[in-house]
């Protein structure tokens, strides 16, 4: 056999062997990393049963009807939100957080699988794993919120819960910018505004008002990366202006329309520019704290 051919075969065998060993080493390293993260998260000092207990108590209260539905639902929302905040604090401080975060965002099956398993555990216990700007966090699970609850509440509470959950399932902002269409943002303002007419004497009032003004602020001023007024010309966004004008024609008697009309009249008087008068108006109008 030709010496060059023999040498080539030997070299190919060595390279193949090295390649297999490299892949094996990578697999072992990945498994070792996963074990570190797994062991680390096994030490999380968090009572996963709290969500189940909270939901069970809420359902029992709704069935007994000893308290008004709005008080029961808002109590549940506040306690559930507190649990989410507590778990996020524990999650981010955990020594395996960076590894878990990298696994969740990885496109490698072995690394990704651990994150998926962790995510499943999170969802089983009434939460949801989400990510924003490359960082994972625990979010509210809207399926958990709505399951069993919807069928036991009145129409106003039903509307509140669905609006509340919709905004969690359809995030408005990312990377300091508004990421939903202008029409969708206007529709949110409209829905919260109409709900506010029904919740004036209910426990929902403060939350509904905050959401109404929060969405109004996103439309009127925007965020750092999606400003409503142009940085150079100071002119208000023409597309947004047209969308508001069109909405006014379709929903003339809504609370949103009243806000849009007032703002557009001011813009007209100020040549549609961001003047001191406009800034003062926005600060006063949007500085709602409940």
Q: Is 116 a domain residue?
A: yes
Q: Is 262 a domain residue?
A: yes
Tens digit of pLDDT for each residue in 40-84?
A: 454 456 788 899 999 999 999 999 999 999 999 999 999 999 999
* Residue after which a domain boundary falls, among 153, 178, 201: 153
* Residue 24 pLDDT > 50: no
Tens digit of pLDDT for each residue in 85-136?
A: 999 998 888 877 887 788 777 776 656 676 777 788 889 999 998 888 788 8
CB atoms within 10 A of CB 271: 10
Q: List beta partners, residue 139.
A: 128
Within this chain, do residues 102 and 31 fall inside the same structural domain, yes or no? Answer: yes
Within this chain, do residues 121 and 12 fall inside the same structural domain, yes or no? Answer: yes
Report, as an integer, the average pLDDT of 179-187.
97
Q: Is 51 a domain residue?
A: yes
Within this chain, do residues 179 and 289 fall inside the same structural domain, yes or no? Answer: yes
Within this chain, do residues 184 and 106 fall inside the same structural domain, yes or no? Answer: no
Within this chain, do residues 116 and 226 fall inside the same structural domain, yes or no? Answer: no
* Residue after which a domain boundary falls, among 153, 182, 213: 153
Q: Residue 95: helix, strand or coil by DSSP?
A: coil
Within this chain, do residues 16 and 108 fall inside the same structural domain, yes or no? Answer: yes
Q: What is the value of pTM for the model shown?
A: 0.82
The tokens describing 257, both together, are 């329309």
* Residue after which a domain boundary falls, among 123, 153, 183: 153
Within this chain, do residues 187 and 91 fall inside the same structural domain, yes or no? Answer: no
pLDDT of residue 33: 52
Q: Is 163 a domain residue?
A: no
pLDDT of residue 250: 96
Q: What is the DSSP string of 153-222?
A: S-HHHHHHHHHHHHHHHS--EETTEE-S-HHHHHHHHHHHHHHHTT-TTSTTHHHHHHHHHHHHHHHHTE
Within this chain, do residues 34 and 93 fall inside the same structural domain, yes or no? Answer: yes
The tokens describing 16, both together, are 């193949």
Q: Is 165 a domain residue?
A: no
Exposed (0-12), middle (13-18) or buried (19+): which is 267, by Cβ within 10 Å? buried
Within this chain, do residues 193 and 283 fall inside the same structural domain, yes or no? Answer: yes
pLDDT of residue 100: 77
Nearest to 119 by CA among 98, 145, 134, 141: 141
Mean per-residue pLDDT over the chain, rounded: 85
Q: How many domains does the chain fold into?
A: 2
Range of the domain at 72: 1-153
Q: How far apart are CA 242 and CA 233, in angstroms?
A: 18
pLDDT of residue 86: 92
């Amino acid at each position: 056999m030709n010496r060059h051919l023999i040498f080539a075969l030997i070299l190919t065998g060595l390279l193949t062997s090295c390649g297999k060993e490299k892949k094996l080493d990578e697999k072992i390293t990945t498994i070792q990393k996963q074990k570190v993260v797994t062991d680390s998260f096994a030490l999380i000092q968090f009572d996963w049963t709290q969500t189940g207990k909270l939901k069970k108590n809420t359902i029992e209260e709704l069935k007994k009807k000893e308290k008004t539905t709005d008080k029961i639902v808002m109590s549940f929302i506040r306690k559930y939100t507190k649990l989410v905040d507590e778990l996020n604090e524990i999650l981010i401080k955990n020594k395996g957080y960076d590894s878990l975060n990298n696994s969740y965002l990885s496109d490698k099956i072995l690394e990704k699988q651990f994150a998926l398993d962790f995510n499943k555990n999170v969802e089983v216990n009434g939460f949801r794993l989400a990510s924003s700007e490359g960082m994972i966090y625990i979010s509210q699970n809207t399926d958990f919120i709505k399951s069993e609850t919807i069928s036991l509440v009145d129409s106003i509470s039903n509307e509140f819960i669905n609006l509340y959950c919709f905004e969690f399932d359809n995030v408005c902002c990312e990377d300091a910018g508004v990421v939903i269409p202008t029409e969708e943002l206007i529709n949110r303002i409209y829905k919260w505004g109409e709900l506010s007419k029904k919740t004036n004497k209910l426990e929902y009032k403060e939350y509904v008002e905050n959401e109404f003004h929060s969405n109004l602020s996103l439309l009127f001023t925007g965020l750092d990366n999606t400003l409503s007024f142009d940085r150079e010309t100071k002119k208000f966004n023409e597309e947004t202006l047209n969308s508001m004008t069109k909405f006014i024609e379709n929903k003339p008697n809504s609370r949103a329309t009243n806000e849009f009309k007032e703002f557009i009249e001011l813009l007209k008087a100020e040549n549609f520019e961001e003047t001191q008068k406009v800034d003062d108006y926005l600060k006063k109008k949007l500085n709602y704290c409940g």
